[in-house]
Amino acid sequence: MKLHYLFSFGIALLSIFGCKNNSESTVVEEKKQPNVLFISVDDLNTMLGSYGGPAKTPNIDKLAAMGVQFNDAHCQAPLCGPSRASIMTGLRPSTSGIYGMIDDNKIVSDNPATKDIVLLPEYFKQNGYHTMGIGKLFHAHAPEGVFNESGGREKGFGPSPKVRFVWDGYGTSDRKNYGRTSTDWGAFPESDALMPDHQSVNWAIKRLQKKHEKPFFMGVGFLRPHVPLYVPQKWFDLYSLDSIKTLPYLKEDLDDVPPIAHKINDLPMMPSTEWAIEHGEWKNIIQAYLACISYVDYEIGRLLDALEDSEYADNTVIVFWSDHGYRLGEKSTFAKHALWNVATKVPLIFAGPNIPKGKVVNKPAELLSIYPTLLELCKLPSYSKNEGKSLVGTMKKENTLDKIVAITTYGYNNHGIKSSRYHYIQYEDGGEEFYDLLNDPNEFHNLATLPAYNELLENFKKDLPKNNAKWDENSKYKFQPYFVEQKARVNPSKNKSK
């Protein structure tokens, strides 16, 4: 009896301590829910070192080595406002009707598609995360109340000299119909500390040094390399003009594209490639852009170093992305604003716990996938309204069998569809472009009119969005006359009532 009693007592003790240990392990497991560092960079194309480009980007290259780099990622709109709205809502522009710029606070409106939408940072907040954000994350900064802590955003794009260096912002445009751009380039100001991006990183570093009881979502939005292409002289010094190579350009390149493509590409407020050649500025513009990339790489390095030195280093998912690409003389101009590959292709990198290191994915991917991917990586419930697909499976084991495409939309019913080899563009009036990127990576030769490609074109048409929503009334783009005319035409009753 005594032995039986001792045995039973021992079992009871083991049971008690076992329960305690299980309870403790549950708490530990809860604490291990990963944090998120959400890094957005404005107007950044894929000229980065890790992408094989000429920019000196040791910190971004290091981040790529820590995780998975997507070599063929594409934005859902080649313009800041609608691209960021798509990422944050999880909806395609063709679903939301957000084709132009939009006030951050009006993204969620009486628009049937967005009225009940939960924005990406809000979803994390609703699931127990402490949310923080600074800089350009949505178009301006963020809707009110999205973040528990907001550092805001300094108005504009940083300090400017009293007189522009090169470009007046108007070019040859009709000033009544076009806006003025902040496009200009040159060494300014004297110190990194005077740049808004520097202050944003300072703000983020302070919060990485704090103790957080909850898992956190921290968004840091960088302004450079958005124009004006101003950074201190030391960043220009990294790139001698002799070392700068101009990008592929064919003067007759656009002779074979539909008339509507010329309308959309009508950007006289931007420097044209012919102007840059004539005035000897092409290399100077590229030098300034590369200098801006190296500057922002430095600031990202400061942010990543602070994370590495913090207690959150081993339990934070990092996503690094840009809202769209940027043309630096390709396709006749220096701008985004197009459905061509150079304007839609973006860097996209994920790193963190349980993410493969040093992996490169060459299949097409969409920025629309950021929202569902972060949810899966953070073990949060999926959000049924997300139109993008999680990339977690692709990161862990790239499936080579599935057909994968990336879709970009620019305005109402203008779409580009990118597969691994081909790029198909269809405009609202039925005009088409088709490029074989294996044999024509610069998209110089439009194959859409050749009968030999008819079957391929028909297959691509199956991937066009089935729904093309009218323009969201809160979204507009007065910078470009084509879009002003298109919105008035697509939404006639709304315009007549005003």
* Residue 415 backbone phi and psi in degrees, to 5: -135, 145
- Look up residue 449 and give its amino acid: T
Residues 6 or more apart whose Cβ sits within 8 Å of residue 445: 256, 435
* Alpha carbons 367 and 347: distance in angstroms, whole number: 10
Angle subtended at Cα 168 by Cα 85 and Cα 170, rounded to the nearest 5 degrees: 60
In DSSP terms, which residues pair with 222 in a beta bridge? 41
Strand 422-426: give its sheet, edge to edge: 406-409, 415-418, 422-426, 432-436
Comparing CA positions, the residue from 404, 428, 402, 403 lying closest to residue 415 is 428
List the catalytic residue out of 75, 80, 292, 378.
80
Q: Is 139 a residue of the active site?
A: yes
- Which of 74, 75, 130, 139 is catalytic? The answer is 139
Contacts 24+ apart (CB under 8 A), 416-422: 416/339, 416/340, 416/344, 417/460, 417/463, 417/464, 418/72, 418/74, 418/341, 418/344, 418/364, 419/364, 419/460, 420/72, 420/362, 420/363, 420/364, 422/456, 422/460
Please state at what angle helix 80-89 crosses helix 370-377, rounded to 10 degrees: 40
Tokens of 59: 């910190």
Question: Annotated catalytic, 378?
Answer: no
Q: 427, 446 in Cβ contact below 8 A?
A: no
Helices (DSSP H) in 142-244: which residue ranges? 196-208, 233-236
β-bridge partners, 344: none
Measure CA 317 to chain center: 17
The residues annotated as belonging to the active site are 80, 139
